[in-house]
Copies of this chain bind each other. A is one copy, B any other.
Amino acid sequence: MVNQVQRVDGNWQSGKSDSSGASNSGGESSKESSRCSTPVLDADRSDRLRDKMLRRMESGDRWFSLEFFPPRTASGAVNLISRFDRMGSGGPLFIDITWHPAGDPGSDKETSSMMIASTAVNYCGLETILHLTCCNQTKEKITGYLAKAKHLGLKNIMALRGDPVGADWEEEEGGFNYATDLVKHIRSEFDDYFDICVAGYPTGHPEAESYEEDLRHLKEKVDAGADFIITQLFFRAETFLKFVRDCRKIGIMCPILPGIFPIQGYQSLRQLVKLSKLEVPEEITRVIEPIKDNDAAIRNYGIEQAVEMCRLLLESGEVPGLHFYTLNREVATIEVLRQLGMWIEDPRRPLPWAMSAHPKRKVEDVRPIFWASRPKSYIYRTQDWDDFPNGRWGNSSSPAFGELNDYYLFYLKSKSSKDALLKMWGEELTSEDSVFEVFTCYITAQPNHSGHKVMCLPWNDEPLAPETNLLKDELEKVNRRGVLTINSQPNINGKPSSDPLVGWGPAGGYVFQKAYLEFFTSSENVNALLKVLKKYEPRVNYHIVNVQGHNLTNAPEMQPNAVTWGIFPGREIVQPTVVDPVSFMYWKDEAFALWIEQWAKLYEDESPSRMIIKYIHDNYFLVNLVDNDFPLENCLWQVIDDMFELLDMPPELVTDGAVSE
């Protein structure tokens, strides 16, 4: 029976070629699929990098990739990771992180090559190659680095020799003398686990005896087990194309990716040329020497020159993808890619939240909604899980969340300085109303009374999401009165999955949401709210909890409630976000702690400002509400209105059990 099914599958494969329309997956044309950086639920998500490349090459979809180096400072790391998020949205097939032997590259330091690459994979969801140099290293040390990389979820290594330290370097018997040795070592110690990339030199390695000798070395690296080649930078398309022809001639058949270096400044060019012992062609020096003091002009020329060269490369048909040396900058690379039409302006989201690229998490497709604005914190707190929920959250899929004591990890830190935060959130708070104002200004994007825009809150590191903007007016109104919202989504009754604001997932689908609202509010408000909520049974589900964990809910049997789901051609239902009663208890610890850790601690001990935040932390409740009737108009605003109405009523009109009509 199983054989028959296999055979059937084979038939289907052969059927593909005579019916082009029938062969694509998820109803995406092959053109479209190339524009989706991480197509959800498709083979792409679980494939290894070399297979992704193969699939792209078969379909003729060109890709790009981005190289970064590790930052020197912790704040540099925070900024680089934001850059990963921004540049990741343009749809690179992968990024790579260089190995800085001088920067303790394999350590746990937040600036190490290892940690930056790990963050890119785990927290930014980017397919990532970690560079590794072997020169002057023991096998044990290298094996240790590789084991650590594997443990962190890294699956790709760029195997390099690296520069010998000191002038007295000599080949070692049985040591790592060439990148080939490293490739062999990886394959012998880790079998086929890693995809391995090696460097190619279109004009020959500066230390090689000859161009031909260098090509033979490259062939050795590939024969030793490398999967693909990224080249050193070059300045003429023909340099690369000749190199590819020469490689093919001697039997190097793997993908060869051209390293593109958009000239971004006179000094950086000179420095790079010196390091890499390259010659800048006369047609380039002739242009830039006269404008060497005009940074903008050089940058523009660099973009123009890179675009032109890339066009030639792509037109040759020999180039499956372009690799960019970004120098950790955004503008030039993005501009080149834009001009080439390869930058995804409006990326289709595979899921409503950013997926992690850790192999352990490849099946993960359900998360609690609570961490919607803090996905990195969610990934961090669940990093030790062995299984990730897939298809359904379930009652049992809630193993312990990580402790909070590490939540101030560098990549969860606010990007703003203490000074900037004080300007946004108030140098001095005088009452709870001052806090209400901060929330209201964040929602409205209006300056606060001292003239500063509130760009973030402890629970939201970014300005309001476009989707949340749909609810802006209502949010403003309730925040003004002390319903301090930290998370919300509108209801959606079947919008196309391609909707620019709320769409996600493969083409041809429909997405749905139940309206959700989460806020802090006073116990007085909660008392009124509970009375009001009786009128909304069973339409509205609620969870109401204070910092001590006193919890009120009407969730049936503590089951999760799916609040975002999508229906797609030829697939099972996807329900990426749930309101889960159990994990809400873990989230509330984090949500309450942020008052103290991120806000109260800005002020002096015992200062009135600090006491106000502390009072809110100790006395307010965290509330979440779900309107289950997603096809109808969202009733949650009416719930809050009813609560205010009840609060505004003279006490003699309020009975204990319910509102008198």
* Chain A interface residues (CB < 8 Å from chain B): 1-2, 4-5, 7-9, 11-12, 15, 19, 21-28, 41-43, 390-394, 400-401, 493-494, 507-508, 510, 512, 530, 533-534, 537-539, 541, 545, 549-562, 565, 567-573, 575, 578, 582, 585-586, 626, 628-631
Measured CB to CB, the nearest residue on chain B to A541 is B570
Cβ contacts A to B, 15 pairs, < 8 Å: A1-B585, A2-B400, A9-B558, A11-B550, A22-B533, A24-B537, A25-B556, A26-B538, A26-B556, A41-B559, A43-B557, A493-B494, A508-B628, A565-B567, A573-B575
Given contacts A565-B573, A570-B628, 10 further A-B contacts (CB under 8 A): A8-B585, A391-B392, A392-B572, A508-B538, A512-B567, A560-B572, A562-B567, A562-B571, A570-B626, A573-B573
- Known contacts: A561-B571, A573-B575. The answer to whether A551 contacts B8 by CB under 8 A is yes
In-complex Cβ contact of A27 among B394, B537, B582, B631 (8 A): B537
In-complex Cβ contact of A572 among B15, B43, B507, B559 (8 A): B559
Q: In the bound complex, how far is the Cα of B565 from the Cα of A575, in angstroms? A: 12
Closest CB in chain B relative to A372 CB, distance in Å: 18
Tell me whether A538 and B573 are in contact (CB under 8 A): no
Tell me whether B549 and A7 are in contact (CB under 8 A): yes
Tell me whether B512 and A1 are in contact (CB under 8 A): no
Q: In the bound complex, how far is the Cα of B5 from the Cα of A401, in angstroms? A: 12
Q: A567 contacts which chain B residues (CB < 8 A)?
A: 512, 562, 565, 630
List of 3 A-B pairs having minimum Cβ-Cβ separation, nearest first: A27-B538, A391-B392, A25-B556
Q: In the bound complex, how far is the Cα of B557 from the Cα of A549, in angstroms? A: 46
Closest CB in chain B relative to A135 CB, distance in Å: 44
Q: A21 contacts which chain B residues (CB < 8 A)?
A: 534, 537, 554
Tell me whether B565 and A570 are in contact (CB under 8 A): no
Measured CB to CB, the nearest residue on chain B to A540 is B569
Q: A555 contacts which chain B residues (CB < 8 A)?
A: 570
Q: In the bound complex, how far is the Cα of B492 from the Cα of A107, in angstroms? A: 57
Q: A28 contacts which chain B residues (CB < 8 A)?
A: 538
Q: A19 contacts which chain B residues (CB < 8 A)?
A: 530, 534, 554
- Known contacts: A12-B551, A392-B390, A573-B573. The answer to whether A25 contacts B557 by CB under 8 A is yes
Q: In the bound complex, how far is the Cα of B586 from the Cα of A90, in angstroms? A: 44
Closest CB in chain B relative to A5 CB, distance in Å: 5
Tell me whether B585 and A11 are in contact (CB under 8 A): no
Tell me whether A585 and B15 are in contact (CB under 8 A): no
In-complex Cβ contact of A570 among B400, B493, B559, B631 (8 A): B559
In-complex Cβ contact of A571 among B8, B24, B512, B559 (8 A): B559
Tell me whether B556 and A571 are in contact (CB under 8 A): yes
Measured CB to CB, the nearest residue on chain B to A627 is B569
Q: A556 contacts which chain B residues (CB < 8 A)?
A: 24-27, 42, 569-571
Q: In the bound complex, how far is the Cα of B571 from the Cα of A573, in angstroms? A: 14
Measured CB to CB, the nearest residue on chain B to A10 is B551
Tell me whether A552 and B43 are in contact (CB under 8 A): no
In-complex Cβ contact of A561 among B508, B554, B572 (8 A): B572
- Known contacts: A43-B557, A494-B631, A556-B26. The answer to whether A541 contacts B569 by CB under 8 A is yes
Q: A538 contacts which chain B residues (CB < 8 A)?
A: 24, 26-28, 507-508, 569-570
Tell me whether B2 and A572 are in contact (CB under 8 A): no
Q: A42 contacts which chain B residues (CB < 8 A)?
A: 556-557
Closest CB in chain B relative to A504 CB, distance in Å: 16
Residue among A5, A493, A510 with most chain B CB within 10 A: A5
Tell me whether B22 and A585 are in contact (CB under 8 A): no
Q: A571 contacts which chain B residues (CB < 8 A)?
A: 556, 559-562
Tell me whether B575 and A572 are in contact (CB under 8 A): yes
Closest CB in chain B relative to A502 CB, distance in Å: 16
Q: In the bound complex, how far is the Cα of B9 from the Cα of A545, in angstroms? A: 12
Residue among A538, A541, A559 with most chain B CB within 10 A: A538
Tell me whether B552 and A12 are in contact (CB under 8 A): yes
Tell me whether B4 and A549 are in contact (CB under 8 A): yes
Closest CB in chain B relative to A59 CB, distance in Å: 14
Residue among A42, A510, A539 with most chain B CB within 10 A: A510
Closest CB in chain B relative to A635 CB, distance in Å: 13
Closest CB in chain B relative to A167 CB, distance in Å: 56
Measured CB to CB, the nearest residue on chain B to A403 is B1
Measured CB to CB, the nearest residue on chain B to A631 is B494
Closest CB in chain B relative to A222 CB, distance in Å: 31
Tell me whether A572 and B582 are in contact (CB under 8 A): no
Measured CB to CB, the nearest residue on chain B to A494 is B631
Closest CB in chain B relative to A368 CB, distance in Å: 12
Measured CB to CB, the nearest residue on chain B to A3 is B549
Q: In the bound complex, how far is the Cα of B565 from the Cα of A15, in angstroms? A: 31
Closest CB in chain B relative to A39 CB, distance in Å: 10
Q: A8 contacts which chain B residues (CB < 8 A)?
A: 545, 549-551, 585
Tell me whether A400 and B1 are in contact (CB under 8 A): yes
Q: In the bound complex, how far is the Cα of B631 from the Cα of A537, in angstroms? A: 28
Q: A569 contacts which chain B residues (CB < 8 A)?
A: 538-539, 541, 556, 561, 628
Q: In the bound complex, how far is the Cα of B565 from the Cα of A539, in angstroms? A: 19
In-complex Cβ contact of A22 among B27, B400, B508, B554 (8 A): B554
Q: A553 contacts which chain B residues (CB < 8 A)?
A: 12, 15, 22
Tell me whether A582 and B508 are in contact (CB under 8 A): no
Tell me whether A4 and B550 are in contact (CB under 8 A): no
Q: A512 contacts which chain B residues (CB < 8 A)?
A: 567
Tell me whether A582 and B631 are in contact (CB under 8 A): no
Q: A27 contacts which chain B residues (CB < 8 A)?
A: 537-539, 556, 628
- Known contacts: A21-B537, A549-B7, A551-B11. The answer to whether A573 contacts B582 by CB under 8 A is no
Q: In the bound complex, how far is the Cα of B555 from the Cα of A296, in angstroms? A: 52
Q: A1 contacts which chain B residues (CB < 8 A)?
A: 400-401, 585-586
Closest CB in chain B relative to A230 CB, distance in Å: 30
